[in-house]
């Protein structure tokens, strides 16, 4: 029975190949667009998640600044309002795992005839724990290097490649200006941060070395920022309040005065970015789904035309014993075949398009089985939904009126 109905369906669709192909095209474009947009959206989500994990977990950043002079507010990170002693005091708070004061800047790195401008962080040995940053070659510097202001450095992958090529940089010497530094380790790759900056274009040296020999700060012990790692997400609100209260007390800020520092919850920023990307992914899928709806309307339209053209045929079938459910099943089967065939072609085009985007645009894409199954299921559902009305209309025809139709 089913085999005969499939044969009749193919015969009916083959009689109007161009019209069937154009109807199927709506489903092809719809499914292909959904798969492609979902792949791009999920790829963006994955990229953001990787960036968030590369930053470290449960992080706060305290920026120096926000001092007022004559009613004019200075920008954060400019005024020397934070000190290494502040970082040491924060480390004693409950819920704080590790703290790293940082003196950031940039420097021209020189290795033989090669030179490269890179970001430079002067910090303490706790920095690598705060950032969850592993050393893939060599070893990190220790507290003794910070106390002695030794000229040692850890180098990021991007800076190492530009200065040393494929050669190992460990135990080699580079210069910052005229000051030689020994590279003691290579940092694990982290990729871009949420601002799009390459985190691997980095050189990390002891904070005392940075202040005394590289930047030459006139405020001994002052730092631009402090990074704080909390024990867990649950304690972060309490830690945030404790840090604010501690620094206001240490800096002797009256209740009526604003903070002379800025405290940022990097985890909250990262969560916001992740949520934005998730919404964008859903929006892309929703926009692409409109194409599926248009394809479904196309199927209904062509099936209604088919019912009108085949009215006499329907009347003859009913006259020789075909039941209403037989007519209903026949036209519904044709609609389902068109939608599933279009869906399969659309899946191939969507997956191919996603791979092409990945290769040509160097953009992360994720082709998940769930998105493919959802697209396929929705397409089949649309075929049934929009094919049902024309099939029902065909089944409800009066045999005598159908036989009279010219």
Q: Summarize pLDDT for 305-330 with one digit per residue, the tens.
A: 888 877 887 788 788 887 888 888 87
Q: CA 371: distance to chain centroid? A: 16
**What is the mean pLDDT of the segment spanning 232-238?**
90
Name the average pLDDT for the chain: 83
Helix (H) or strand (E) run with residue 348 in it: helix 324-360
Give pLDDT, residue 36.
Answer: 87
Lowest-pLDDT range of 9-13, 254-258, 291-295: 9-13
How wide is the angle at C-alpha 62 spanned by C-alphas 56 and 68, nearest 5°? Answer: 155
Q: How far is it, in rounded angstroms, from Cα 102 to Cα 208?
A: 10
The Cα–Cα gap between 152 and 208 comes to 11
* pLDDT tens digits, one per residue of 85-125: 999 999 999 999 999 999 999 999 999 889 999 999 999 99
Categorize the per-residue pLDDT at 371 as very low, low, confident or very high, splitting at 50, 70 and 90: confident
Question: pLDDT tens across 121-160, in order?
Answer: 999 999 999 988 999 999 999 999 999 999 999 999 999 9
Structure letter (DSSP) for residue 212: I
Q: Whose structure tokens read 């398009």?
A: 353
Cβ density class 284-293: b for 16+ within 10 Å, e for less? bbeebbebbe
Task: DSSP letter for 77, please.
Answer: T
In the block, which residue shows the tokens 């024309």?
390
Question: Comparing C-alpha atoms, which of 384, 377, 358, 375 is closest to residue 288?
Answer: 375
Helical ranges in 212-323 per DSSP H: 236-250, 266-309, 311-319
Non-local (6+) Cβ contacts of 142 within 8 A are 125
């Amino acid at each position: 029975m089913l085999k005969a109905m499939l044969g009749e369906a193919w015969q009916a669709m083959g009689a109007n190949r161009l019209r069937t192909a154009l109807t199927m095209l709506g489903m092809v474009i719809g499914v292909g667009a959904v798969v492609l947009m979902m792949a791009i959206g999920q790829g963006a989500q994955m990229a953001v998640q990787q960036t968030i994990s590369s930053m470290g977990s449960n992080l706060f950043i305290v920026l120096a600044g926000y001092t007022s002079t004559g009613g004019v507010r200075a920008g954060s990170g400019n005024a020397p309002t934070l000190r290494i002693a502040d970082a040491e005091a924060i480390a004693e708070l409950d819920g704080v795992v590790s703290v790293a004061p940082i003196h950031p800047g940039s420097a021209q790195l020189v290795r033989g005839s090669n030179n490269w401008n890179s970001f430079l962080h002067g910090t303490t040995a706790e920095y690598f724990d705060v950032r969850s940053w592993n050393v893939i070659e060599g070893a990190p510097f220790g507290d003794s290097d910070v106390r002695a202001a030794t000229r040692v450095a850890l180098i990021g992958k991007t800076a190492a490649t530009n200065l040393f090529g494929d050669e190992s940089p460990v135990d080699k010497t580079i210069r910052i200006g005229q000051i030689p530094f020994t590279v003691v380790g290579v940092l694990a790759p982290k990729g871009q941060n949420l601002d799009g900056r390459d985190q691997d274009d980095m050189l990390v040296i002891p904070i005392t070395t940075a202040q005394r020999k590289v930047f030459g700060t006139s405020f001994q012990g002052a730092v631009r920022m402090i990074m704080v790692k909390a024990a867990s997400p649950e304690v972060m609100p309490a830690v945030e309040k404790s840090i604010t209260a501690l620094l206001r007390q240490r800096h002797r800020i009256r209740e009526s005065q604003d903070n002379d520092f800025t405290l940022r919850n990097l985890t909250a920023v990262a969560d916001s970015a992740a949520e934005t990307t998730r919404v964008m992914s859903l929006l892309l899928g929703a926009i692409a789904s409109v194409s599926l709806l248009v394809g479904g309307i196309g199927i209904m339209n062509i099936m209604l035309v088919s019912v009108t053209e085949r009215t006499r045929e329907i009347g003859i079938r009913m006259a020789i014993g075909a039941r209403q459910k037989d007519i209903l099943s026949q036209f519904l089967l044709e609609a389902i075949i068109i939608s599933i065939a279009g869906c399969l072609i659309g899946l191939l085009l969507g997956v191919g398009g996603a791979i092409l985007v990945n290769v040509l645009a160097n953009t992360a894409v994720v082709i998940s089985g769930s998105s493919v199954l959802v697209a396929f299921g929705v397409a089949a559902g649309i075929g049934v939904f929009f094919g049902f009305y024309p099939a029902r209309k065909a089944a409800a025809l009066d045999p005598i009126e159908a036989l009279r139709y010219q």
